[in-house]
Copies of this chain bind each other. A is one copy, B any other.
């Protein structure tokens, strides 16, 4: 194999595919990037068996071939080179010379035969949404997936397509995050669970672009994201996701409207008195005109009063401050409305159109 590409183009490609390189694996081929230059373009492929990425790098193929290289090693070498043309030449024994200006690196490649290509997913009926929309949806929900293995489905997010709406939901047993957007087209009903890791990596690769789309294709076991010259393929999580609508339905008789920034600042301040892992709740005492927040701990105490507009009874309710902070941070509205039943049942923060719904379980504070 012999190819020439510009340093920055090659580095961009490598940075994309690096996201699916296994760092923990002991199977060394999983730590490799495959340079597949047999089909007329320079194609970089990585695959950690759960997640696979394939991208095309502009450049010239002087001699066709397939070689795998340790992904981190070749990335470090390429990153260190000046911004100029890079030649990668691999002989029949896979001894490889990477040269640029007066600089020469030699490394040994691995046989491409051992490499597992990405599964073939039929690309029909793609769901289109802008890059920025997908990134936002992920950012606004990913924090409430579970980080342990209690329930496999909790490690993913539900993507539900219903006509022209897409709903993304995550939950970890203490809280639910739910975001909904309108799609440009209408689609058949589909509901899948995409691994959180896949969404995190996707989010790092795609740019904050409003005008460019990502296309999502779903098969029975896989999801494929396509954008620019890149495809990302991931396994889906099997299972029947939780009945969210049931969880979110209740007679929320109490509602309180408060300035989001003030409320967020106030809770953040309160956490200064709560040591991590302490599980000490922040107690919120709501009367007709004000929210009173109080924390008492071994290191001191805090009290703050916030203006609010309340409907329904007075209520005193305790929360894990982290859960409120996580939700408030990703809400862009100036004012938020918190809906409550009593101090023992979940509260929800949602907008009128229900484009977002964040449910948080209260903590017993008696």
Chain A residues proximal to chain B, CB less than 8 Å: 70, 73, 76-77, 80-82, 102-108, 265-266, 268-269, 272, 299-306
Task: Chain B residues near A265: list those with CB within 8 A.
Answer: 80, 82
Task: Chain B residues near A81: list those with CB within 8 A.
Answer: 269
Task: Chain B residues near A103: list those with CB within 8 A.
Answer: 266, 269, 302-304
Report A109 CB to chain B, min CB distance, Å.
11
Task: Chain B residues near A104: list those with CB within 8 A.
Answer: 302-304
Report A305 CB to chain B, min CB distance, Å.
4
Report A80 CB to chain B, min CB distance, Å.
4
In the complex, the answer to whether A300 meets B73 with C-beta atoms within 8 Å is: yes
In the complex, the answer to whether A300 meets B102 with C-beta atoms within 8 Å is: no
Closest B residue by C-beta to A107: B300
- Copy number in this complex? 2
Report A93 CB to chain B, min CB distance, Å.
14
Report A301 CB to chain B, min CB distance, Å.
5
Task: Chain B residues near A300: list those with CB within 8 A.
Answer: 73, 77, 105-108
Closest B residue by C-beta to A105: B302
Closest B residue by C-beta to A294: B104
Task: Chain B residues near A107: list those with CB within 8 A.
Answer: 299-300
Report A85 CB to chain B, min CB distance, Å.
16
Task: Chain B residues near A304: list those with CB within 8 A.
Answer: 102-104
Q: Which listed residue, B73, B106, B268, B305, touches A301 by the CB 8 Å rule? A: B106
Besides A103-B266, A107-B299, 17 new A-B residue pairs in contact (Cβ under 8 A), listed by A number: A70-B299, A73-B299, A73-B300, A77-B269, A80-B265, A102-B304, A103-B302, A103-B303, A103-B304, A104-B304, A105-B300, A105-B301, A106-B300, A106-B301, A106-B302, A107-B300, A108-B300
Report A57 CB to chain B, min CB distance, Å.
21
> In the docked arrangement, what's the CA distance between A304 and B99, Å?
10
